[in-house]
Amino acid sequence: MDSRTSDAAESPSSQPDNPRHSAHPIPWLALQQLLDSALPIGGFAHSFGLETLVQEGRVSTSAELEQYAEAMLRQSWSTADAMIVKAVYRDAPMGNWETLWGVERLVHVGRTAYESRIGVEKIGRRMLQLVASIYPQLDWSQLIEAHRSGRCFASHPLTHGFACYRLGISLDAAVQGYLYTCIVTCVNNALRLMSIGQTEGQAMIARLTPKAAAAWASAAAIQPEDAYSNMPMAEMAMIRHETLYSRLFMS
């Protein structure tokens, strides 16, 4: 065998099956994977107060569920969690990591309920472990090292935003995708708590999806440091969840 042929056969570039030398992921397809409800990050185990609202009769119909989800979109998910995603795209290109971790801390400690804070952290850590495993060719070191040293929580919105940034996904798509996962998680959890059929649940998701874009359009001008949540009933439900007589969810 010619030595040049032998060298080429043994070079890393000629081994497409090696994941560390694979091509960069296709952004829009990578986003589909991140938004898959089957993504094993544990979102199905957390209702974030919805279980309390259902047990107390505050959310008992599909119409009330849709109103609740829309309110969370406009007054919490887009104005609080999405601000962490926005901060990733603002601070990561400049290497302003401590500023980014500060925004995450601001939003995260604002979660009144202990269960909810822990839940968002668990989902985020599992997502970080997953994306680092399936995309080893990308650099996750800043987030991994910051979490190990206690400088950040690696919460779900931070990990989602960081993953989207690394995968080359636009800010608008990253935020709208995060809001979509919030909607889907809420509706899917309601299917286990309420008398709602699968078709009705999917129709609700379809109606809420454009409202996710509208919520982000309304919140996009907010600076990450001005993040806020204005859902006191939901916060109280999250707090009371740990004292429920029976529970299906961890939070």
Fold of 48-243: Urease accessory protein UreF (1.10.4190)
pTM of the model: 0.89
Per-domain residue ranges of the chain: 48-243
Statement: residue 20 has pLDDT above 70? no
Average confidence (pLDDT) over 109-123: 94
Among candidate residues 136, 170, 179, the one with its CA nearest the CA of residue 28? 170
Indicate the average pLDDT of the chain.
90
Q: What is the C-alpha separation between 154 and 148, in angstroms, rounded?
A: 9
Q: What is the C-alpha separation between 245 and 223, in angstroms, rounded?
A: 41
Contact 79, 219 (CB under 8 A): yes
**73: amino acid identity, one letter:** L
The radius of gyration of the chain from alpha carbons, rounded to an integer in Å, stands at 20
Residue 75 has what DSSP assignment? Answer: I
Tokens 């990990």 found at = 159
Among candidate residues 239, 220, 219, 221, the one with its CA nearest the CA of residue 229? 219
pLDDT digits (tens, 9 = 90+) for 47-67: 889 999 999 999 999 999 999
